[in-house]
């Protein structure tokens, strides 16, 4: 059986907010290491990779690997019924037809349980290799969110080029062009999460659909910083670390100029 108790139930809401615009269903894999999900959007352009490590839960028990196929839209509806301060317990049997969600208020004066039907999902699982990135950019997540929103107001595709001087985001649309350069500022008085850091072994440049990048920024409440990893001619990875718990990562295939 599987049973996991999470003290910060609000975290589950944030995780679901970060994926609900991209996928409508997914297999949550329960394993002794933790709860994970890998799923592609319907057009197979982007991939979500979530890991919530077992150590991050107050109580975690998983005897064997259990795939838990869930409709994300319905899951969002159920988790919305939890208070953001509630303690959430997720429970299911080894071959589950249902998953139980138990919500306990912080003061222990309200307990709710919800049972949700599971579904069999035939999804493609991709082997994403561990990659050494040619360029890694760490920046405040709110700044990346703002930047993607601003770029999307001008164009559909953003070109991201990373050099040791900084990261340049450029887009072109019917009304004109926009360029925003973010420079590394590691020596200032900023707190670590306010800094922009760039590590590169060689300059990288590629174009990406802003519609997807904008969806990825729905993960902003999960982390004060975001990390972009790029390798020439490979998908970009956009990673939001979840403190003491794991991560939400997005992979997005590049656009190729015709």
Partner 1 sequence: RFFQNHLSDYYMQD
Residues lying near partner 1 in the complex (CB under 8 A) are found at 40, 43-47, 124-129, 156-157, 207, 209, 234-235, 251, 253-258
Structure token pair of residue 86 = 């509630």
Residues 6 or more apart in contact with residue 32 via CB below 8 angstroms: 54, 62, 63
CA atoms within 13 A on the CB side of 209: 12
Q: How far is the CB of 253 from partner 1 (least distance, A)?
A: 4
Question: CA-to-CA distance for 239 and 131, rounded, in angstroms?
Answer: 13
With respect to partner 1, which residue has the nearer C-beta, 109 or 257? 257
Closer CB to partner 1, 195 or 255, in the complex: 255
Give the other-Cβ count within 10 Å of 219's Cβ: 26
CB of 134 to partner 1, least distance (A): 15
- The nearest distance, CB 133 to partner 1, in angstroms, is 14
Residue 12, number of CB atoms within 10 A of its CB: 21
Least spacing, CB of residue 67 vs partner 1, in Å:
13
The smaller minimum CB distance to partner 1, of residues 74 and 172, is found at 172
Nearer to partner 1, 10 or 207 (CB): 207
Question: CA-based angle 221:46:209, to the nearest 5?
Answer: 85
């Amino acid at each position: 059986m599987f049973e996991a108790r999470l003290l910060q139930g609000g975290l589950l809401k944030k995780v679901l907010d970060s994926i609900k615009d991209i996928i409508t269903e997914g297999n949550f894999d329960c394993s002794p290491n933790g709860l994970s999900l890998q799923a592609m959007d319907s057009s197979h352009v982007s991939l979500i990779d979530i890991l919530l490590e077992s150590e991050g839960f107050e109580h975690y028990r998983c005897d064997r690997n259990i795939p838990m196929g869930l409709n994300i839209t319905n899951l969002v509806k159920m988790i919305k019924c939890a208070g953001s301060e509630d303690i959430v317990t997720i429970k299911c049997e080894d071959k589950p037809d249902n998953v139980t969600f138990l919500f306990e208020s912080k003061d222990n004066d309200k307990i709710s349980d919800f049972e949700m039907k599971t579904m069999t999902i035939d999804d493609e699982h991709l082997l994403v290799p561990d990659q050494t990135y040619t360029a890694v950019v760490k920046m405040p997540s709110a700044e990346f969110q703002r930047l993607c929103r601003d770029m999307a107001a001008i164009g559909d595709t953003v070109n991201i080029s990373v050099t040791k001087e900084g990261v340049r985001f450029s887009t072109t649309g019917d009304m004109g062009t926009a360029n925003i350069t973010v420079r590394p500022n590691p020596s200032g008085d900023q707190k670590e999460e306010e800094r922009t850091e760039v590590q590169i072994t060689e300059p990288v440049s590629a174009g990406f659909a802003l519609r997807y990048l904008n969806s990825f920024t729905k993960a902003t409440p999960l982390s004060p910083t975001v990390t972009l990893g790029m390798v020439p001619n490979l998908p970009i990875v956009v990673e939001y670390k979840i403190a003491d718990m794991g991560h939400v990562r997005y992979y997005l295939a590049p656009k190729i100029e015709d």
